[in-house]
Amino acid sequence: MILVITPLYAAVLALMFLVLRTMVTVERARSGISILTGNNTNLAVKSRRFGNFIETVPFALILMGFAEMEGTAPALVHGAGILLLVSRLLHPLGLHPEKGNHPLRILSGVLTMATFALGAAAILWQLLAA
């Protein structure tokens, strides 16, 4: 089966990856810190924004791809993709060093977990219904 939905979200998320990664690179160049964060709050925040992205997005895309390959309804695969995109857009906006429980950060975490739950449930449904 050729995937047609998941690659769309992967491409958009790859652009987000580039933006977040570039922000870390620019801050590293500006601060002269090449390893870790050197107690630089701006670098730490930008590194965590990128780190959280890279910790969650690849596995979420794998789940989406498996769900799509198993024949999950396109609307559900798109639903997972939209949840993932929204969660990844909100997370950097809600990650602040002085506001650890910022509502956007909490919402992004909930949406990310919903993406994982939807992907896992869709895969299990397809496999167990077969």
Tens-place pLDDT, residues 77-88: 999 999 999 999
Q: Give the CATH fold of the 6-129 domain.
A: Four Helix Bundle (Hemerythrin (Met), subunit A) (1.20.120)
Per-residue model confidence (pLDDT) at position 1 = 80
Question: Which band of pLDDT confidence, cut at 50, 70 and 90, is reported for residue 96?
Answer: confident
CA 60 – CA 126 distance, rounded (Å): 17
Per-residue model confidence (pLDDT) at position 10 = 99
CA 19 – CA 23 distance, rounded (Å): 6
The residue ranges of every structural domain in the chain are 6-129
Question: Which band of pLDDT confidence, cut at 50, 70 and 90, is reported for residue 130?
Answer: confident
Share of the chain above pLDDT 70, in %: 100
Per-residue model confidence (pLDDT) at position 76 = 97
